[in-house]
Amino acid sequence: MSNGVLVIFDQNQGQVRHVVPEILTVARELGVGAVTALTFGVRASETLETLGEYGAAQAVIWEHEPFTRYSSDGFADAIVELVPQVDPSVILFPASAWGKDLSPRVAELLGAGLVTDCLSLRTDANQRVIATRPIYAGKALAEVAVETPIQMFSMRPNINKAISHPVKPQVLDWTPSIGENSFRSVVVEVRQAESGTKEVTEADIVVSGGRGLKAPENFALLDQLAEVLGAAVGSSRPVADDGWVPHSYHIGQTGKVVSPTVYFAIGISGAIQHLAGISGSKYIVAINSDPEAPIFKVANYGVVGDLFQVVPALTEEIRKIKANS
Ligand SMILES: Cc1cc2nc3c(=O)[nH]c(=O)nc-3n(C[C@H](O)[C@H](O)[C@H](O)COP(=O)(O)OP(=O)(O)OC[C@H]3O[C@@H](n4cnc5c(N)ncnc54)[C@H](O)[C@@H]3O)c2cc1C
């Protein structure tokens, strides 16, 4: 019989990403036992309310030194020490940059199988977890199970619905013996994104631009559209490679994977490597002057036209609608 699910996530000054309530909901709905949540860092205990809201029966919070600064190897060693205390059969991470860094290290140290970037999880008759994940750059979905006693998965954000299920989490008062000297690498500086810049992986609407914008200064058109929509701005890879926008904007196979409700692809051709990062979007809206552009094959809505005319007109119309509502 299973011993429940351990959900491991990062937080920022007491704030959790959208994906955390989503993963807690997935963990609870698996029905393989109680959910324990583990988080780290400065003000981590302020996440307790959210953990309780989404059904974590138990919480483990390490906000003391040396857990105030991220360390791949230090955190991985500490998690491995914790695992026998919780004895989970399933461990879940967000498929964020943080989760993608930490989860394989933990899997290797535990000798556990890890399935990354999962869209959903279910259990079979033997309480074995079956994950659904995209393959071939999002062109197909595979169902995958792992055969190790501990089954590990990382979950793509914005796919699963967060459903409230209030409980009062019990705080497990246990800290690993690991000390500062065990932290062989630490993050020495964290640079905040410019104020007002939304993170593409968290946003409900993403406005993304490609080479069709012709020059970096024309991204101002996308900033204006994003502002009226409350959206994040993203990009195709070549414009990030050419320094038109920060690398944090780059979406696709070699960049970030997004799954917003609405994804605007503006002056983006729709190369397979770009589509790999946007296939989880609920609606794709393409604006492109070439009616044969591959992006129209995947778009739910399309405008064949010059973005330099379409985008300002769209921004203006949305602004008017918002002003009148
Ligand atoms: C190994 C590998 C990994 C890669 N990883 C990624 C990745 O992660 N993400 C990624 O994006 N790419 C990636 N690429 C690059 C990818 O193959 C494409 O080259 C890239 O996505 C094209 O970017 P784009 O759509 O901005 O430019 P283009 O392909 O040049 O498309 C520009 C589009 O703008 C349209 N356009 C031009 N003018 C206008 C106008 N005035 N109004 C409206 N539309 C206009 C054109 O019709 C065209 O469709 C990768 C490539 C390789 C080989």
Domain extent at residue 306:
205-324
Ligand 1 centroid from CA 307, angstroms: 15
Give the atom of ligand 1 at the shortest distance from the alpha carbon of 276.
Answer: 8
Please indicate, yes or no, if residue 191 is contained in any of the structural domains.
no
Ligand 1 centroid from CA 271, angstroms: 6
For residue 127, the model assigns a pLDDT of 83
Residues 172 and 216 in one domain: no
CA 69 to chain centre: 20
Ligand 1 centroid from CA 297, angstroms: 15
Give the atom of ligand 1 at the shortest distance from the alpha carbon of 306.
Answer: 42
Ligand 1 centroid from CA 211, angstroms: 6
For residue 302, the model assigns a pLDDT of 97
Residues 178 and 287 in one domain: no
**Residue ranges, the chain, pLDDT below 50:** 1
What backbone phi and psi angles, to 5 degrees, belong to 293? -60, 135
Number of domains present in the structure of the chain: 2
For residue 196, the model assigns a pLDDT of 57
Q: Which of 274, 296, 309 to mutate to test the pocket of ligand 1 (most atoms within 8 A of CB)?
A: 274
pLDDT digits (tens, 9 = 90+) for 73-112: 999 999 999 999 999 999 999 999 899 999 999 999 999 9
For residue 2, the model assigns a pLDDT of 59
What backbone phi and psi angles, to 5 degrees, belong to 106? -65, -40
For residue 200, the model assigns a pLDDT of 93
Residue nearest to atom 2 of ligand 1 (CA): 273
Give the atom of ligand 1 at the shortest distance from the alpha carbon of 254.
Answer: 8
Q: What is the rounded distance in angstroms from the CA atom of residue 66 to the CA atom of residue 177?
A: 11
Residues lining ligand 1, Cβ inside 6 A? 210-212, 236-239, 252-255, 267-269, 271, 273-274, 277, 287-290, 293, 306-308
Please indicate, yes or no, if residue 304 is contained in any of the structural domains.
yes
In contact, 114 and 104? CB cutoff 8 Å: yes
Residue nearest to atom 4 of ligand 1 (CA): 273
For residue 158, the model assigns a pLDDT of 86
For residue 155, the model assigns a pLDDT of 96
Residues 41 and 177 in one domain: yes
pLDDT digits (tens, 9 = 90+) for 145-176: 999 999 999 999 888 999 999 999 999 999 99
Residues 161 and 298 in one domain: no
76-82 contact pairs (CB < 8 A, 24+): 76/102, 76/105, 76/106, 76/109, 77/109, 77/176, 77/178, 77/182, 78/176, 78/178, 79/8, 79/38, 79/106, 80/106, 80/109, 80/110, 81/176, 81/177, 81/178, 82/6, 82/38, 82/174, 82/176
Residues 163 and 270 in one domain: no
For residue 194, the model assigns a pLDDT of 65
Ligand 1 centroid from CA 158, angstroms: 24
Ligand 1 centroid from CA 270, angstroms: 6
For residue 1, the model assigns a pLDDT of 44
CATH number at residue 91: 3.40.50.620
For residue 294, the model assigns a pLDDT of 98
Strands annotated E in 88-161: 90-94, 113-118, 120-123, 129-135, 140-144, 151-155
Give the atom of ligand 1 at the shortest distance from the alpha carbon of 270.
Answer: 25
CATH number at residue 246: 3.40.50.1220
For residue 4, the model assigns a pLDDT of 95
pLDDT digits (tens, 9 = 90+) for 202-212: 899 999 999 99
Ligand 1 centroid from CA 276, angstroms: 13
